[in-house]
A and B are shown apart, each in its own frame.
Chain A
Amino acid sequence: MVKRIKDNLRIIGMSFEIELRQNLMDGFVLFGIVIQPLIVAFMALWMLKDKGPDFAIFIVVGSAMTGLWTTLLFNGGNSIRGERWAGTLEPLVGAPGSLRIVVFGKVLANVTQSLLSMIGCYTLISLIMGYPLTLSRPILFFISILLTVFSFVSFGVIIASLFILIPDFQRLQNTLEFPVYILCGFLFPIALLPGWTTPISIILSPYWAARALHGSAQGTLEINQIFISWGLLIIFSAIYIVGSGALYRLVLKRARVDATLNTTG
């Protein structure tokens, strides 16, 4: 058991490192992590500036989350497809290590590097534009960041398998970017949306991540409300991880039974 855990941690570390190295060569990653969040932050700041200077931290957090999601969707989501295109999926599936663990490491790398978008937005709004930025509950905020990384990685692992299992889902990739910004309340409260969308928001772990981050950064949530957000974030992330186990078994079964491992969808 201990050996298995050690092996899995080593696999996660290796795929994390390789993914980071590969991303250094990918210009689109730069767009997702730096350029888009900064442009969104600037626009949001200009659009929401009448809400007062306290609102700047809301924009930093919300814009950075757009960067997290964009990178997760386009890079993390294509984790398995990328291997397929590179012709490395067969050896990966044939190896004794779990494909899901490899994808976990890759998505973890994508999400971790996306945290740079938060530093970028902070720098733009605080240092360059001169808005005062203070965290109301810094410790809770940093714990929220750790849990956010966990929740996004869980979400990414399940999306990567869905992109393989349902090719039409992958084809809708461009369409999935903004709905999550909208439904998870990254830059405006979901209370503005029609009531029927609320159940969808609730089952998305990024919504609870955004709620915890905004609440702890701005101090708009009581401590117990932040704890509730953490709890639900963990529950939904755990559901994604358990669900992804079944999905990855299906991916491998289809690949072996249907012999479609190298067939691009």
Chain B
Amino acid sequence: MKKQSVTNIRIFFEGAILSYRALFRWLRPATYIASKILAPLTMMIFFVFIGTYASGSNDASFYVIGNALIFAASSGIFGVTMSIGGERWSGTLPYLFGSPANRLAIFTGRASMHILDGMLGVFIGLGWGVLLFGLDLSQTHLIPLLLTILVTTYSTSGLGLLMGCVGLITRNVMLVNNTVYFLMLLFSGANIRLESLPKWMQVVSKYIPLTRGIASTRLIIAGAGINEIFPLLMEEFLIGFVFTLLGFFLFSTFEKRAKKLGTLEIF
């Protein structure tokens, strides 16, 4: 039992590190910097300018915070999806499903590095906000902010795990990824105040990751403490957990069906 647990933990961390390295090691640092730092920055600038143009105000904090948290979704959705879905493209899926390794350790391990990477991304986003748009962090409590960013990157990675499984059964993984990512921009309240959206969109926004993470971060930066944001964080965590479970269920179902029907590499 103990040996089994040690093996599972080893698989979790090996899978985490190897899948992360596999995603970036063949690229130059320029690609990493372009994809993870500069591209989200340019998107932030675009929406901040539209937002400030719309409001006629110089206060960009609403848009800066919303778009900084989108950095988490960038890692959670694109990184995690490609770590799972990429197994099929690189031809390693049969080996993975042929191994006796614990499936939950394999599956969840794929997200862990991207959670750390996403957290780094959010800090970079907030840093850009301070440097370029004068985001005021003087009222911010650091620990609740850290916790919020951790939970938010976890929940978006949960969605990424689910989308990664979708990537195992579709040819158009980039279409799916990008659509989900842009829908998150729309529904999460990153750029539009949720209360101004149509009712049905407000309902959808309650059931996706990121919405509460963004709300919580805005409260913390305005000076709120852990007690005020705790319910939001719990709900955000729960949503991430549900998406992870759904993803694992899909992953297991896919493995069983693919083995039974011989469709492991059929798109």
A binds B: yes
* Residues on A facing B (Cβ under 8 Å): 27-28, 30-31, 35-36, 39-40, 42-44, 46-48, 50-51, 168, 171-175, 177-179, 181-182, 187-189, 192-193
- The answer to whether residues A35 and B182 also contact, given A27-B171, A47-B51 and a CB cut-off of 8 A, is yes
Question: B222 at the A/B interface (Cβ < 8 Å)?
Answer: no
- The answer to whether residues A181 and B172 also contact, given A39-B183, A172-B30 and a CB cut-off of 8 A, is no
Q: Are B49 and A192 in contact (CB under 8 A)?
A: yes
B38 proximity list for chain A (CB < 8 A):
172, 174-175
Q: Are B39 and A178 in contact (CB under 8 A)?
A: yes
Q: Are A27 and B191 in contact (CB under 8 A)?
A: no
* Residues on B facing A (Cβ under 8 Å): 27-28, 30-31, 34-35, 38-39, 42-43, 45-47, 49-54, 171-172, 174-176, 178-179, 182-183, 185-186, 191-192, 196-197
Q: How far is the CA of A174 from the CA of B43 in the complex (A)?
A: 10
What would be 23 A-B contacts, judged by CB atoms less than 8 Å apart?
A27-B171, A27-B176, A35-B175, A36-B182, A39-B183, A43-B185, A43-B191, A46-B192, A46-B197, A47-B54, A171-B30, A172-B34, A174-B35, A175-B34, A175-B35, A175-B42, A178-B42, A178-B43, A178-B46, A182-B45, A187-B46, A188-B49, A188-B53
Most chain B CB within 10 A, of A27, A42, A173, is at A27
Q: Are A46 and B196 in contact (CB under 8 A)?
A: yes
Taking A27-B172, A27-B175, A175-B39 as known contacts, 11 extra A-B pairs with beta carbons closer than 8 A to each other, sorted by chain A number, are A36-B182, A42-B186, A174-B35, A174-B38, A175-B35, A178-B39, A178-B42, A179-B42, A182-B42, A188-B50, A192-B53
A178 proximity list for chain B (CB < 8 A):
39, 42-43, 45-46
CB distance from A34 to the nearest CB of B (A): 10
Residue in A28, A187, A192 whose CB lies within 8 Å of B175? A28
Q: Are A174 and B39 in contact (CB under 8 A)?
A: yes
Q: Are B34 and A182 in contact (CB under 8 A)?
A: no
B45: nearest chain-A partner, CB-CB: A182
CB distance from B185 to the nearest CB of A (A): 7
- The answer to whether residues A187 and B50 also contact, given A39-B186, A171-B27, A172-B38 and a CB cut-off of 8 A, is yes
Q: Are B50 and A48 in contact (CB under 8 A)?
A: yes
CB distance from B36 to the nearest CB of A (A): 9
B191: nearest chain-A partner, CB-CB: A43
Q: Are A39 and B185 in contact (CB under 8 A)?
A: yes
- The answer to whether residues A31 and B179 also contact, given A171-B28, A174-B34, A178-B39 and a CB cut-off of 8 A, is yes
Q: How far is the CA of A127 from the CA of B214 in the complex (A)?
A: 32
B29: nearest chain-A partner, CB-CB: A171
Q: Are A28 and B174 in contact (CB under 8 A)?
A: yes
Closest 10 A/B residue pairs (Cβ):
A27-B172, A27-B175, A178-B42, A188-B53, A175-B38, A174-B39, A175-B34, A39-B182, A47-B54, A178-B46
Q: How far is the CA of A175 from the CA of B53 in the complex (A)?
A: 23
A48: nearest chain-B partner, CB-CB: B54
- The answer to whether residues A168 and B30 also contact, given A48-B53, A174-B35 and a CB cut-off of 8 A, is yes
CB distance from B2 to the nearest CB of A (A): 45
Q: How far is the CA of A28 from the CA of B38 in the complex (A)?
A: 22
A50 proximity list for chain B (CB < 8 A):
54
B196 proximity list for chain A (CB < 8 A):
46
B36: nearest chain-A partner, CB-CB: A174
Residue in A177, A182, A192 whose CB lies within 8 Å of B52? A192
CB distance from A205 to the nearest CB of B (A): 20
B53 proximity list for chain A (CB < 8 A):
48, 188-189, 192
Residue in B30, B50, B179 whose CB lies within 8 Å of A47? B50
B52 proximity list for chain A (CB < 8 A):
192
B192: nearest chain-A partner, CB-CB: A46
CB distance from A218 to the nearest CB of B (A): 15
Q: How far is the CA of A174 from the CA of B28 in the complex (A)?
A: 14
A48 proximity list for chain B (CB < 8 A):
50, 53-54
Q: Are B182 and A182 in contact (CB under 8 A)?
A: no
